[in-house]
Structure 1
Amino acid sequence: MPCLKHFFNPDFNHQNLKPTQKNDGSTDFYNMGYVQSVVIGQILAQWQEEEEEGKCANGYRHYSEKKFPKGPNTKINPDDPDQLIATRNGYVFYNEDGLIMVKELLNIRGDVGLTTGNIFFIGDLVVHDSIKSGLEVKAFNINVKGIIEQAYVKAGGFLKCDGGIKGHGQAHIEAKDSIRANFCENATIVSGKNIIIDKSCMHSKVYCEGKFAVKGRLCGGPCYSNQYIYVGEQLGGGLSTPAQLIVGYSPLVLLHIDKISEQIDKLTDLISELAGKLSNGVSTALEYREKIDKYEIKVRFLKNKKKELWNTLEQTAKLESCRIMVPGIVKAGVEISIGQAFLQVNEPLEDVYFYYENHEIKVGSPALKK
């Protein structure tokens, strides 16, 4: 009797997950393997001969004949008839009919929290409730019905959050395609295309490679967009940091520059710390000197990289086509940058747009052409 070897856990139960152990012996409560992802062409199962008559190895399943329990999105490997492979990206499991199948859409019927752990999935994901603080979620297209809290969420396609984003300064939301959310508070959001916020966007860092639109109120920042920003009701206001809008340069390149700047600052602090120890005449002076030299080389490299990126920005900028449009009210204190031109709004404005002309930022009205 043939034995079927599985390249996934055939007895897997996502409702009975257990914490795993890290290499250092500590317990990992966040990475519990909620889903068994597979890719197109991946081997799911393979026929093997019995080890002894009537016996299969541990984890194998016995069948009376070589007939795969073949379900949706699987097929027999044309190069090896003893192998069953996936025909779609998704997750693999035995369905209620006892067939091996691959499903492209993963539905999480409640929260992403400590009962699920982090979610890493190759296909599309729907979270029917919220993504709780401290969790990490990566998938292709992501739809969250509830709220995203202080979590790290990254989509290879688009990301939609019906409940809104309440980041408390810790949430990082990123999508290669567009992002749409009900509201956004105290978060960092990064999009390779467009961002639409249906209500308000408050005290968040925004990096939008396409068009950035807030239907309600926008306050805080900085908010970067390649060419267009739209704010429907109110731009600025409040007692905290004024709204900062920057257009004209690639936000993703600016984000890269920001990350390089952070690395330079950290390395500079390390160099200062080591130099202080050297001045005290420590016995490990040679070791510290070598570390300082290594860090200084890295700082020079990063500064050159930063300069190259800025040169790229200057060459690709299309400042004359940039627009910031506000049909509602612009409060005093708002800071506008288009390329290297800067304007601070000193008195309230209504139904206006900001544009670049002759190296200056100018104000026009109405905000939208009728």
Structure 2
Amino acid sequence: MDNEERLLERTAETTEASDGYYQIILSDSGVFLTVFPPQGNGSPVREHVILLDLEKRAIKGFDLPVIVRTVREASGLPVRIAPPPPLSAEPEIQVLVGRDRMEATLQIIAPKGSRPVTMDEVLEKIKQVGVTYGLDHAAIQRAFAHPGLKVVCARGLWPTDGQDAYIKYYVDLENKGKPAELEDGRVDFKNLNMFTIVREGDLLAEKVPPTPGTPGIDVLGQPVPPKPGKDILPPLGKNVQMIDNGKIVATMSGQLIITNNKLNVVPVIEINGDVDLSTGNIDFVGNIIVRGSVQAGFLVKAEGDVEVAGTVSGGTVEGKNVCVRMGVQGMNRGYIKATENVVAKFIENATVYAGSDVLVSDVILHSRISAGKRVVVEGRRGLIAGGRVLAGEEIRAKVTGTHLASNTDLGVGINPLLREEYQKLRMEIKKLEFTLEQTQKALGLLRAMDQATMPKDKHEMMLRLTKAQFHLVGQVETMRNRINEIEVAFEEMRHGKIRVRDTVYPGVKIIIGSLVKPIRETLSFVTFYAEDGEIKVGPYK
């Protein structure tokens, strides 16, 4: 509608903000009715109120069925109910309230030859419509001084939504099990940060509760409720509890670990000597500290971390993070396996698996190493010689191979453990999907039976199968998510690099993904990487 339109507006005869209301618009193209629905428990607009209004305005020729339908639908959209009325020389004051009631507009329409309006008439009109909050008197004055100018004459106050609950941690969980790195990128093996030890009563975290938010107010003076913040469950695991004001504390001294996103405090086993005949094998749910060495043929296994102050000589050690301060002498028996990192002074004639990094301060000799991310050998000698060293993303050393041209395989973009997990997951999903299909078929047969005459044992079977179905669907979804994570990791491995700070001797074989490059001459200060389907050699960086 153009600037020559004349607009009159009436609200329903209620003062409740939740009541419906209507507007009658008079324009050159006809008389239009807009009906807005009530909110909450408010009252709807009634037809007789509109008919009385039309009678007062002397509007003729309206379509009663259209009015009834428009009131019933209350769509908030203008509907033509009558032809345009004859022009009037009376000025009109138009006040419109937005659908969300957070804004109202004012426009004074003064046809040629009409009398001037007064400010009292303008304010009275605003009052009649019900606009009481957020009046912009400067804007009202502008509209009064300039007939035809449409202004926003009132604005509501928007509510402020509440803040979601969150957990504030008082312990450092990011660097756990990661040796500190020096400024030049080398590993500081004197500061291993292997364990997060807490004592009974220590403050671990705090649950900050959600806030309700701050209500707003619309231009009709009614409150606008905010969206309250969402609550969360506290991450309470074993041996922790929540006390006053949401504070989460340890109820015993021990090692802090996170399992399934929950805080747990588990005890630490300390062996004040060697793991040998005097101790037997050790398999523990928490963390293990061995003050001596692990002797040949013995097993140390932990769901948490393992720290060995001495050596591992032909023994087997498994844990989340494994630190062997004096080194690993594999003796071609036993192995070291960590779901995260392995840290050692040296590794010789050993088999080592790490889900993340293998960090060695001196040498790796004639060993089989597999790391999900990095193998770093950067100590006094920083040597990798003999054997096969594989990493998902990077191998870094000072010297690789020997002047005697000993066979040494270095490979990146390869993670056997991850590949094995990937294949197992795919096979397991196939089995679960077959079981799920059989379960759904059985449920379909049971549901097709007459429920009223179905025996009790069939009802119980249907309940068991329904629960099993939901469990199977959840298992499949979890496995598919893990497969997606592994595929992302495989993609990142394509950019793997092998960096050697000092010397690469002949006899070394460089492997990046499916590409192979034998080294036939001595190289220094180099980086090997894959590009355009071949292994290239660049400067060390």
TM-score of the superposed pair, with normalisation by structure 2: 0.38
Equivalent residue for 1:330, pick from 501, 504, 507: 504
Match in the other structure for 2:328: 165
Query: SS at 1:171's partner residue?
Result: coil
Single out whichever of 191-200 and 239-248 deviates more from structure 2: 239-248
Equivalent-residue separation in structure 2 for 1:211 and 1:88 (angstroms) = 36
Amino acid in the other structure paired with 1:249: I
Question: Retained in 2: the 8 A contact 1:165–1:185?
Answer: yes
- Which position in structure 1 is the counterpart of 2:392? 226
Q: Within 1, Cα distance between the matches of 2:521 and 2:362?
A: 24
Q: Tell me the residue number matched to 2:414.
A: 249
Q: 1:131 aligns with which of 283, 294, 298?
A: 294
CA contact (8 A) 1:179 1:195 kept: yes
| Structure 1 segments unaligned to the other structure (5+ residues) | 1-72, 76-85, 92-101, 260-308
1-side partners of 2:333 and 2:489: how far apart? 34
Please give the per-residue CA displacement for 1:184-223, whole angstroms capped at 9, x wherever unaligned.
Answer: 0011111111110000000111110011101110012211
Rounded to whole Å, the distance in 1 between the matches of 2:393 and 2:327 is: 25
Q: Name the aligned partner's letter for residue 393 of structure 2.
A: Q
Structure possessing the higher relative contact order (Cα contacts under 8 Å, 6 or more residues apart): 1
Q: Structure 1 residues 194 and 74 mapped into 2: Cα distance closer, same or farther (>3 Å)?
A: closer
Equivalent residues of 2:389, 2:411 under 8 A apart: yes
**Which amino acid is 1:124 matched to?**
N
Matched ranges for 1:94-105 at <5 A: 104-105=267-268
Offset, 1:171: 2.9
Q: CA distance change for structure 1 residues 190 and 320 in 2, over 3 Å: closer, same or farther?
A: closer
CA drift of 1:313 comes to 7.6
Q: Is the 8 A contact 2:357 2:372 kept in 1?
A: yes
Q: Aligned ranges for residues 27-106 of structure 1 at < 5 Å?
A: 104-106=267-269
What percent of counterpart residues are identical?
Answer: 31
The answer on 1:147 being equivalent to 2:311 is yes
- In the other structure, the counterpart of 1:359 is 533
The whole-number CA distance in structure 2 between the counterparts of 1:340 and 1:198 is: 29
How far off its partner does 1:107 sit? 0.9
Answer with 211-220 or 244-253: which moved more. 244-253
Q: Distance in 2 between matches of 1:147 and 1:347?
A: 36
Would you say the 8 A contact 2:405–2:505 is kept in 1? Answer: no
Q: CA–CA distance in 2 between the matches of 1:121 and 1:362? A: 46
Secondary structure of residue in 2 paired with 1:204 = strand
- The CA deviation string for residues 138-186 of structure 1, in whole angstroms up to 9 with x for no partner, is 011111000001111100x211110100011113000111111000001
Q: Which residue in 2 is equivalent to 1:175? A: 338
Name which one, 1 or 2, has greater alpha-carbon Rg: 2
Counterparts in 2 of 1:241 and 1:171: CA distance versus 1, 3 Å = farther
Q: CA RMSD in A?
A: 3.1
**Structure 2 unmatched ranges of 5 or more:** 1-237, 241-249, 256-264, 425-482
- Note the 1:113-124 alignment, pairs <5 A: 113-124=276-287
C-alpha distance in 1 between matches for 2:290 and 2:502: 34
CA shift in 2, pair 1:158/1:224, >3 Å: same
Q: Does 1:191 find its partner at 2:354? A: yes
Give the structure 2 partner of residue 202 of structure 1.
365
Q: How does 1:256-267 map to 2 (within 5 A)?
A: none
Structure 1 residues 258 and 137: CA distance shift in structure 2, 3 A: farther
Residue 318 of structure 1 and its aligned partner are, at CA, apart by 3.9
**For residue 287 of structure 1, what is the aligned residue in structure 2?**
none
1:251, distance to aligned residue in structure 2 (A): 3.2
Q: Counterparts of 1:204 and 1:227 in 2: how far apart (Å)? A: 19
Give 2:495's aligned residue. 321
> In structure 2, how many angstroms separate the alpha carbons of the residues matched to 1:356 and 1:146?
39
Q: Work out whether residues 89 and 122 of structure 1, in 8 Å CA contact, stay in contact via their aligned partners in 2.
A: no
Q: CA deviation at 1:350?
A: 0.4
Task: Return the alpha-carbon distance in structure 2 between the equivalents of residues 134 and 199 of structure 1.
Answer: 25
Of 375, 378, 392, 1:212 maps to 375
Within-5 A mapping of 1:252-331: 252-254=417-419, 316-318=490-492, 321-331=495-505
Counterpart Cα distance in 1 of 2:307 and 2:489: 37
Structure 1 residues 88 and 184: alpha-carbon distance in aligned structure 2, compared to 1, 3 A threshold: same
Extract structure 1 runs of 4+ deviating beyond 4 A. 86-91, 238-241, 254-259, 312-315
Q: What is residue 111 of structure 1 aligned with on the other side?
A: 274
For residues 255 and 165 of structure 1, the distance between their equivalents in structure 2, rounded to whole angstroms, comes to 25
Residue aligned with 1:110, SS: coil
Which of 306, 328, 350 is the aligned partner of 2:524? 350
Whole-Å Cα distance in 1 between the matches of residues 288 and 313 of structure 2? 17
Relative to structure 1, the CA distance from residue 133 to residue 257 in structure 2 (aligned partners, 3 Å threshold; closer, same or farther) is: farther
Distance 1:188 1:254 in 2: 18
